[in-house]
Every structure is written in C-alpha cells, then in structure tokens.
Structure 1
Amino acid sequence: MRSPDELAARTDRASRAATEAARELGLTVTAPRTIYDVFSVVVALDPAPVIARVPTVLPRSVTPAQQERFQRNELAVTRWLAERGEPTVVPSPLVPAEPVRRDGFGITFWELIEGVTEPALETGPRLALTARLHSLLREYPGELRFLEPMDGFMDDALAQLADRPDLLAPEDLDRARREWAIVEPVIASEDAFLAEFPDATIQPVHGDAPYYNLIETPGRVYFSDFEHVTRAPVEWDLVSIGDEGVAAYDAEAARLGLRPVDPRVLRFMESVRNLQVVGCLALAPELPLLVEGLKPVLEHWRATEPAGGLGK
C-alpha cells in the first residue's frame, strides 16, 4: 500500500505536471489549487478560468493509447453536446481540445464553472435528466466501442487479486472467477449481447452514473465526467437506482420516446458492475481508501444472484 507521504508526492507531481503543461500551452497560472484527489487529481489553474484533470489511479490494463482514446472520446462527446446548447462541462476554449501527455500523466483541460453549489437535486429530477441525456446521446455520430471500460480489465484485475488474499478472500475470488466466466462471453461484443438480450437497444451512454455526476449551480445543472463514455444498453447507466429511480426514469423516457428500463437487462448490468467493483480492489495498493470504501458494495455483491441469474 502506498504511504500517505507517497500519495501526497503523487498528488504534487500530478499538479505540477498540469501546471507546467498549461503554461506551455500559453495559460497564465500563478496559484494552482488541487480541489479533488481520488482517482484523479483535479487542479484549478488560477487565475486562468481552467480546470485540469489528471487521472492518477488507473487499472493496470489501461494502456496509454487506451487512456488517450477515452479522453478524446470524452472531449468529443462533451463538445458535441455543448454545440447543441446542452448544459455540460466542456473543454476549455483557451487551449486545444486534446489530451496532453506530461511526466507520465494524461491531462485534459476544462472550462471553469462558476457558482457551484452543494448537490440538492432529488432522485426524480436526477433520473429525468439521465433519460434526457440518453435521448441526446442516441444521436451522437462519433465512433465508440462496446463497454470499453471492461475491455481487458477483469482478467488482469483477478490475476492481481489472486496474489492478494488480504484484499479479496479466496472464496470471493472463486465466485468472481465463476461469475466472470458467465458474464464475459455475453459482453464480448454487441452481437453477443443482443443474442442474449434481443430486445435491448445499444447506444452511446455516459458510462458512469450520470444521475450522480451532475454539477449544480443556482441557474443550471451540468452533465459532467464522461470519462467512460461508451456504447452499451442504457441500463449500464442505471445500476443501483432502485424502484423509485426506475419509475422516474421510465416516466421521462416515455415522454421522450425511449423504451422503459428492461428489468432483466438491468439485473445483468448490475452483476457486471458488481464485478467491476470487485476488480477495483486491485487498485487498492495505489488508493488505500478503497479497502474500507468498497466493503459495503462487496457485502451487497455476496448477497446477489451471480451473473444476474444468467446461466442457471
């Protein structure tokens, strides 16, 4: 596990890389401030109205080329939404809208949103906004891969966890391997998925809880954090929303001409997401807070039906 001093040094390196890259791009940065530090270090590049995001904790399976593709996809999707007048965090217009590689970090630069408030939206409005986002994204013309965040991730994560019984108990590892053997062939491609779920629709989706990744201001609510934008069924974005959330989403989906949530697809997507969380334990040496933070999710996973009941 990384020590507190090692974590602080990594944060400093990321902040320094973002600041130096920004200056090379012509921004005036005199007082950079780290405003967030978990999987990414987020730096306010004062006095420039620009935010830098520097991913620091990535799965070992993510290559620099794949990370760049993720970042280019995010930049492209957010710019496309903004061009249509949709409220979304957008790439900073003060620098080129492309990732920058500096000191081993992949860095993107974003426009500062002023007047951010504490989250206040209730479940209903959050899920209504998610349905609206899906209605917009189904028209997105850019090329995205199917469930790319899972590509190569689980095999490598489970291989790492095989040597870390302190992070994942052997009986849990055995269950995860058996469950992944059922899940992996289904999500190997869009065709494989549709063969199992022929009524599902595959489209561009946010990729990581869009109902949670909202930025609120007194006048607007902004979509944010499209780091894992991908092609998938909409249920990939709706894991763990509960019955109230499903009802709120379905009501807005009906108004927008979208299909309602498919309970069978949702159960399966929840099983895939649970496995992803299990795999995230492999990141704990780089992010020790995951050990305690993921315990409730692991308890929930142990109580669920493997693979969402698939393969029975």
Structure 2
Amino acid sequence: MTPDQMSARTSRALAAAVAAGRDLGLDVSDARVVYDVFSVVVHLAPSPVVVRVPTVLPPYADAGYRAARQRQELAVAGWLADQGHPVIPPSPLVPREPVLRDGFSMTFWQFVELDQSAEPDFVRQAGLVADLHVALRSYPGELPFLSAAEPRFVTEGLAALEARPDLLEPADLDRARREWEVLEPVVASRAGFEAVFPGIGLQPVHGDAPAANIVSGPDGVLYSDFELTTLGPVEWDLAALGPECEAAYDEAAGRLGLRRLDQDVLRVVNAVGMSRAVACLALAPQLPLLVDALKPAVEQWRSMPFAGGLGG
C-alpha cells in the first residue's frame, strides 16, 4: 500500500470508531488516533474510552472471525478486571461486545493515562507474567488450544510468499516450509502437542508476549492486549524473550508454586514464534514497515536450530 492508501485506511477506521461511539451515546467531539500499526487505536476524547480497530489482517479474517476473537478477548480481560487483577479493562460505559461498523470490527476499552516516561524492564516484567499465570489458572471460560500459534496464518502466509521472492528469498522459504511441516502438527491440536510433550501441563495463557504488553498506569503496572489468549503451555508466553527473562520467570514461578519452564518446550515455541514472524512478511503489502522491522528476526531465525530441535 502507498502512504496515501494507508492514511485513507486510518481515516476510515477513525470515522467508523467515532460513528460507533456516537451511536453508543458517547461524547466523541475530540476523538484522535493514538496508535496506528496493526490496529488503529482511537481515544474517543473527552470520553474515557479507547477503541481498538484492527486493520492489518490476513485474507481469511472476515467480520465473523474477528468478532469471535474479540468476544473472547473481552471475556478474559473483563473477567480479570472483575476479579480485581491489574488489567486495562473493557469500557464500563458500553456493552462488552465487539461493534461492527463500516466493515470494521472494534472493541471499546477504558482509557488509562499511561506513564510514557517509564522505560520497559522486560526482565522484571517477565517475573510478573508468573503472577498473571496464577490469575489465569482460575479463568472459567473455554479457550481453544494454542490458537495464538495461528497455524492457518503461517500456512497461508508461507504460500503467499512463494510469489514474493522480494520479501523472502527462495532458500529461506524452502527452509520455512520444511520447518513448518515439522512444527505445525505439534501446535495444531492438543493431541499433537501431548504426543511430543507428554505430561506438560496446560492452562490459560496470555498468548502475545505479555512481558512486552505490561504498561505503567497511574497506580502501577497493568496487563494489556489479550487478543491471543489461549490454552497452552506457560512457555508460550516466554517465547523469544531470552535466558534472563526465563530466569526471572522461573524465580517468580518457584515463589508462587508454579512449575519451572521446560527447555525442550521453550525451544519449540521459540521456533513456532519464528515461523509466525517469517509468515508475517506476507502482510507487508498492507504494512510496508514490516519489511525492515522483521529483518532482525529473519536473520536470527537463520541461525537457530531447525524446528527447535525436532525432526533432526
């Protein structure tokens, strides 16, 4: 997409969020975009409401697919908030339901004044992930198994990249496909995972690098962005964070009575995470900044063991 096309997409998402907010009875007279990458995030000022409007999506993510995932996110984040856990909660001013407007499916969240000066401390925040895991263990709702691995996204993304050697070299695509043939059965079903990792406990996990999605609010840290919450091994939430973060998690987990991270599972979820990063290049036509943003990940992936050590 050209810059003008992306700007027009942002404008359409902003207009849809404003119209939806107005229909819900909110004062949206000073609405403004506060973030615009994979989603357009709109503060419906002066109302204390933030709207998240996903805009960069795989081809199969129709309105029904998006709404189903958003209902799950609202349910999990809303339940955590109701239990008193420190999360950015759904807005109490509107129903806890995604809203479809002008082709966009959006969710409404409570506005929180974040401390933008706070430097992220991923090691410390990795320890806080253990606290989140304790809270999520009691979540009463049903969750799909490792939906955060997004097998369809990886499979279709790699297929799309066949026609785009400018985005991924043929040799890299060949490795990615061979690797995914090994990894996909492990994450596509609970039975497939348990066949490789018997005895590894599963529980609700955040699903999307929670240590990088902890923000500083006026009263302390808050967990955010539960779009990919899923049933899976706790290792999924530590993928790609490195040994220091893993050690911080293990220390906190021991204190809280949780199991320590399994290194074999970590190697595999790290490999799956890299497969997702490579497949994400297929979204570059919608979001050109991904080409440069993903270069370090692709270079790191080339140096990693094939399929996390599975399959020889």
- Which category describes the TM-score, using the shorter chain as reference length? over 0.9
One-letter amino acid matched to 2:173: L
Q: For 1:113-159, what per-residue CA distance to the aligned partner results, in whole angstroms no more than 9, with x for missing partners?
A: 12533333533420121010011111111111112131411121111
Aligned to 1:264, the other structure's residue is in SS state: helix
Alpha-carbon distance in structure 1 between the residues aligned to 2:10 and 2:120? 31
Report the equivalent of 2:236. Answer: 236
Alpha-carbon distance in structure 2 between the residues aligned to 1:264 and 1:63? 36
Question: Does the C-alpha gap of structure 1 residues 124 and 151 become closer, same or farther in structure 2, counting only changes over 3 Å?
Answer: closer
Aligned to 1:46, the other structure's residue is in SS state: coil
One-letter amino acid matched to 1:281: L
Alpha-carbon distance in structure 2 between the residues aligned to 1:154 and 1:240? 17
Residue 58 (structure 1) shift: 1.1
Aligned to 2:210, the other structure's residue is in SS state: coil
CA contact (8 A) 2:63 2:100 kept: no
CA contact (8 A) 1:176 1:275 kept: yes
Aligned to 1:212, the other structure's residue is in SS state: helix
- State yes or no: 1:147 paired with 2:146: yes
Q: Map residues 1-312 of structure 1 onto 2, 5 A cutoff.
A: 2-149=1-148, 150-312=150-312
Alpha-carbon distance in structure 2 between the residues aligned to 1:301 and 1:81? 35
One-letter amino acid matched to 1:38: V
Aligned to 1:272, the other structure's residue is in SS state: helix
Residue 74 (structure 1) shift: 0.8
Residue 231 (structure 1) shift: 1.1
Moved more, 275-284 or 137-146: 137-146
Residue 198 (structure 1) shift: 1.1
Q: For 1:68-112, what per-residue CA distance to the aligned partner results, in whole angstroms no more than 9, with x for missing partners?
A: 121111101111111111110111011111000111111100001
Q: Between the two proteins, what is the percent identity of the paired residues?
A: 53
Alpha-carbon distance in structure 2 between the residues aligned to 1:209 and 1:25? 32
Alpha-carbon distance in structure 1 between the residues aligned to 2:245 and 2:281? 28
Alpha-carbon distance in structure 2 between the residues aligned to 1:85 and 1:143? 20
Alpha-carbon distance in structure 2 between the residues aligned to 1:122 and 1:285? 33
Aligned to 1:259, the other structure's residue is in SS state: coil
CA contact (8 A) 2:44 2:50 kept: yes
The number of equivalent residue pairs is 311
One-letter amino acid matched to 1:194: E
Alpha-carbon distance in structure 2 between the residues aligned to 1:124 and 1:300? 20
Alpha-carbon distance in structure 1 between the residues aligned to 2:116 and 2:185? 43
TM-score, normalisation: structure 2? 0.97
Aligned to 2:215, the other structure's residue is in SS state: strand
Alpha-carbon distance in structure 1 between the residues aligned to 2:179 and 2:114? 45
Alpha-carbon distance in structure 2 between the residues aligned to 1:127 and 1:154? 26
CA contact (8 A) 1:179 1:307 kept: yes
Aligned to 1:110, the other structure's residue is in SS state: strand
Alpha-carbon distance in structure 1 between the residues aligned to 2:307 and 2:132? 27
Aligned to 1:152, the other structure's residue is in SS state: helix
Alpha-carbon distance in structure 2 between the residues aligned to 1:206 and 1:115? 21
RMSD: 1.2
Question: Does the C-alpha gap of structure 1 residues 279 and 195 become closer, same or farther in structure 2, counting only changes over 3 Å?
Answer: same
Aligned to 1:28, the other structure's residue is in SS state: coil
One-letter amino acid matched to 1:280: C
Aligned to 1:228, the other structure's residue is in SS state: coil
Aligned to 1:108, the other structure's residue is in SS state: strand
Alpha-carbon distance in structure 1 between the residues aligned to 2:108 and 2:2? 29
Could you list the runs of 5+ residues in structure 1 that have no partner in the other structure?
Answer: none
CA contact (8 A) 1:190 1:202 kept: no
CA contact (8 A) 1:93 1:111 kept: yes
